[in-house]
Amino acid sequence: MGIPAATKALQAFTRRDPIVNDREALDALENELYGTSDRVTAVMLGASVETALEKLLASRMRDDLNSDERSKLFGFDGAVGTFSAKIITAYAAKIIGPITYRTSI
């Protein structure tokens, strides 16, 4: 059986650049969230926040990292491959403050 359309839409949405004033992206999010459970909503929004945090961390790193080096950082087994590792790294790098850090762990 193939991947359901809603799952494909979720994967595509969470990989998009998070632009708050992007009406198309916000409409897509709204359409995906209507009629779903609170659990699905939490997972989707959490995935979007994790993607945004990863992009923010990557923007503060060397521009000349190759894909293998990025994979070693952000990949499944990478140094900052988990959401919690990204949060700790953002806090350590002074990207997020202590209040945000405490409420996210």
- Dump pLDDT digits (tens) for 39-85: 888 887 888 889 889 999 999 999 999 999 999 999 989 999 999 99
Kindly indicate the confidence band of residue 31, based on its pLDDT and cuts at 50, 70 and 90. Answer: confident
pTM, rounded to two decimals = 0.71
- List Cα–Cα distances, 29 to 42, 60, 79, in angstroms: 12, 27, 30
Position 37 scores a pLDDT of 81
From residue 11, how far is each of 2, 16, 105 by CA, in Å? Answer: 14, 9, 24
**99 is written with which tokens?**
């209040």
Between 2 and 86, name the one with better pLDDT: 86
Mean pLDDT of the region 10-34 = 69
pLDDT of amino acid 17 = 64
